[in-house]
Structure 1
């Protein structure tokens, strides 16, 4: 056990009531509320072998799943919220982008509400089960809505600042039992076959490796589990596909790709999921100025975005209902079953 880790361990123990125990797999941070009532604890082992934690009572806790630390992660634990500082290697474009603008997403109407969010909640609750994970949770708007219906609810995101803002969202909504974990979507710190429902809303187009993320989602789902994806899609056609993806990247360098409906289905099916489309008709009208302000797009790039919209071809204008001040994006809700 390194001196640095010992220092962190002792500081955490003295400040937050953490207890540390030794096992053949290394030191295990045992995170538990100080309350005397029986509540589950979160045990994290640094080996790659899954560990079943001791079953205890409680309404909602990540420790009731199998937990495997497949990559370093920062844990923001619910009721009360706490942190275990673990380094997350690498600074990705999405982390840089969303680290700067996290607070803007707390009150963003396109993220905090919407018919697509209502539908995700309906689908998750209708499927049922005990455990739900929201991948690319951002500031936890989806987690806020689905968590009360499940015994264990976890939101995972790569960006610390988004999770910190999400913690405030959960606290204001009085959802204290949900947990927030910093981890990459391609290395989810959840063991195989342990989750009933996975949701991901308006995040996958930022994944550097969407195929790898979908494989991870399929891995953690139990047999019969449900994946609910909400994301933007581009209509068929090379011109409109290139236009919207180039425009998104010009506005926000963390954008990777919005796929066609067929493209999203292919990614999920390649991961081993049986897919169906719940809805592909949702259209969101975006005000260009607000859209650019939310991402804090530099002026030269914002000017270039407006220029491209003004010069859009007739095919692009029809596909995205382009006007001088707005355009529309298409959303789909895809279901993947294991």
Structure 2
């Protein structure tokens, strides 16, 4: 299934309404993980880069400090505004901005030697096609970095978490499994040179408020967390303390090259 017009519009509406919250998000702006990513990619400073789905601008501005120039691309105009604000705050002048769909990038093949896509693809139908598109615009020998939510190992638990995610954020499609990620690379003609899984625990209130989750949906999610089937509870790690929920999320970090 391709990215439908309805889903593209849902993404624009969702992120357009809450763009500033993503620029201010502690999850997306965490300097520890951003510094780790830059160390992992091992840049030489001469790269021409592309950040797909730049969101609040944290990956784009972090990369821009370490490379020659960067294009920040997003399907949502308001997100490009937020990335521009962040770039101005950091005094960066080597970025330009492009309104673009990850499934149909408006760039020539072999245009960039560094492409990144951070915490985006769980919002995209046919994420494999998006990975293939990123591979298309990447030069031979160039690097592609992806970070995204890793789906839970058990299918029932994974589907349960996806239901929670869609209640929180209607633009959510699915959290892809490890097996699905592996297929994406093969289809995209990419070679994985590094992969790792990192975990973080997120306080439910901040997690839901960032997406502007309606009060009714917040209550539905809390009920789902309270009433998880035993099998789901073995995989979906949560903590309830002092009347507050926290949820553990797993992220996959992938560094690939185009051969």
**TM-score, length-scaled by structure 2:** 0.90
What secondary structure, in the 3-state scheme, does the structure 1 residue paired with 2:65 have? helix
Contact 1:163 1:180 in 2 (8 A): yes
Q: Work out the CA distance in 2 between the residues paired with 1:276 and 1:253.
A: 33
1:19-34 matches, cutoff 5 A? none
Contact 2:152 2:236 in 1 (8 A): no
Q: Work out the CA distance in 1 between the residues paired with 2:149 and 2:44.
A: 23
Residue segments in structure 2 that go unaligned for 5+ positions in a row: none
Q: Work out the CA distance in 1 between the residues paired with 2:239 and 2:128.
A: 34
What secondary structure, in the 3-state scheme, does the structure 2 residue paired with 1:92 have? helix
Instruction: Report the alpha carbon displacement of residue 288 of structure 1 after superposing the two structures with TM.
Output: 1.1
Partner of 1:170: 87
**Among candidates 173, 196, 200, match of residue 284 of structure 1:** 200
Post-superposition Cα deviations, 1:109-155, rounded to whole Å, max 9, x if no partner, equal 10011533222212334466421111111121011111122222111
Q: Work out the CA distance in 2 between the residues paired with 1:127 and 1:326.
A: 39
1:258-337 matches, cutoff 5 A? 258-280=175-197, 282-324=198-240, 325-337=245-257
**Counterparts in 2 of 1:298 and 1:219: CA distance versus 1, 3 Å:** same
**Among candidates 56, 59, 70, match of residue 142 of structure 1:** 59
Q: Work out the CA distance in 1 between the residues paired with 2:49 and 2:239.
A: 40
Q: Which has the larger radius of gyration?
A: 1
**Counterparts in 2 of 1:117 and 1:189: CA distance versus 1, 3 Å:** same
Instruction: Report the alpha carbon displacement of residue 206 of structure 1 after superposing the two structures with TM.
Output: 0.8
Post-superposition Cα deviations, 1:16-73, rounded to whole Å, max 9, x if no partner, equal xxxxxxxxxxxxxxxxxxxxxxxxxxxxxxxxxxxxxxxxxxxxxxxxxxxxxxxxxx
May I ask how many residue pairs the two structures share in their alignment?
A: 250
**Counterparts in 2 of 1:243 and 1:276: CA distance versus 1, 3 Å:** farther
Contact 1:127 1:226 in 2 (8 A): no
Q: Does 1:181 align with 2:98?
A: yes
Partner of 1:234: 151
Post-superposition Cα deviations, 1:283-322, rounded to whole Å, max 9, x if no partner, equal 1111111111111111111111111011113333332321
**TM-score, length-scaled by structure 1:** 0.70
Q: Work out the CA distance in 1 between the residues paired with 2:20 and 2:257.
A: 34
What secondary structure, in the 3-state scheme, does the structure 2 residue paired with 1:328 have? strand
More helix per residue: 2
